[in-house]
Amino acid sequence: MLQTSPQYQVSLARSDAEIRAAQRLRYEVFVTELGGTGDGVDHARQLEIDGFDDHAAHLLLRDLRGDPDQVIGVYRLMTQAHADAAGRFYSATEFELTPLLGSGLTLLELGRSCLHPAHRGGPALMALWQGLAAYVADHGIDILFGTASFHGTDLAALQNPVSHLHASYLAPEHLRVRTRTTTGLDLLPPDRIDRKAAMRDTPALIKSYLKLGGMIGQGVFVDHAFNTTDVCLILDTGQMSAGVLDRTPRRAS
């Protein structure tokens, strides 16, 4: 167990049944709510699955006041060892990761993160982040990274917020991954960006990472199967908010 609060409990999945519970929540969020699809969607069992799940660690959030078997938040975590077993990091399907892979830093990829609609907001997300911070500390992680999504694939509608991210939060060259595809999205020059509207139109999870010191790679990846437009977020764990780290246990069990 990584973290327990008066309401929430965070732990790593220890069984196939617990991984299935995570995949069931992913189905509810990514498929039912957001309209995602793809080869790994099992409609009969209402699971969202892919080939990386068997090689990753799964961080689970439960509400102690409700059904103890129901997972209400999840992160899929992949270290370099997990990626070696899987053949690559998931993000490598969308972004060229050479700068990170050659950095000499200890990496942790975050993926498939979601919260049950009834638990979105500060307390649940903070509890999940505290569990994540404990994992980071226990494994000596230097860099967190992974794809984060805007809903929809209309690049014209996303031009302003994506341009703002590139103007204000672009990772330095030595960590700057780049999209593997050419999307045709023209970034606005800084003097044409409506920054207030851009932040309004940026998903809450992305804004939360930015507040922790997050940066983005160059470009976006349009994921038609999941009906999203993805950026690659990069976070130096040394820059993570002390407010998250200071309240977090340093040992996992």
- pLDDT digit string, tens, across residues 3-32: 455 588 999 999 999 999 999 999 999 888
Distance separating alpha carbons of residues 249 and 139, to the nearest angstrom: 13
Q: What is the pLDDT of residue 5?
A: 52
Q: What is the CA radius of gyration of the chain?
A: 18
User: Once rounded to an integer, what is the mean pLDDT over residues 105-121?
Assistant: 91
Whole-number Cα distances in Å, 212 to 87, 107, 117, 133, 226: 30, 17, 23, 12, 26
Q: What is the pLDDT of residue 119?
A: 85
For the cut 90, the answer to whether the pLDDT of residue 243 exceeds it is no
Whole-number Cα distances in Å, 70 to 64, 119, 178, 233: 10, 12, 37, 28
Q: What is the pLDDT of residue 7?
A: 86
Tell me the two tokens of residue 143: 């860099």
pLDDT per position as a tens digit, 33-90: 888 777 778 889 999 999 999 999 999 999 988 887 889 999 999 999 999 999 999 9
For the cut 70, the answer to whether the pLDDT of residue 127 exceeds it is yes
In order of their start, the domains of the chain are 75-245 (3.40.630)
User: Once rounded to an integer, what is the mean pLDDT over residues 153-159?
Assistant: 95
For the cut 50, the answer to whether the pLDDT of residue 251 exceeds it is no
pTM of the model: 0.89
For the cut 60, the answer to whether the pLDDT of residue 248 exceeds it is no
- The sign of the dihedral angle between the CA atoms of 92, 120, 155, 235 is negative
For the cut 90, the answer to whether the pLDDT of residue 93 exceeds it is yes
Q: What is the pLDDT of residue 247?
A: 45
Task: Write out the DSSP string of 155-202.
Answer: HHHHHHHHHHHHHH-BPPGGG--EESS---PPPPPGGG--HHHHHHTS
Percent residues over pLDDT 70 in the chain: 92
pLDDT per position as a tens digit, 177-232: 999 998 878 999 999 999 999 999 999 889 988 988 999 999 999 998 888 999 99
Tell me the two tokens of residue 93: 């399907």
> Tell me, what DSSP letter sits at residue 32?
I
> Of 106, 136, 124, nearest to 205 (Cα)?
124
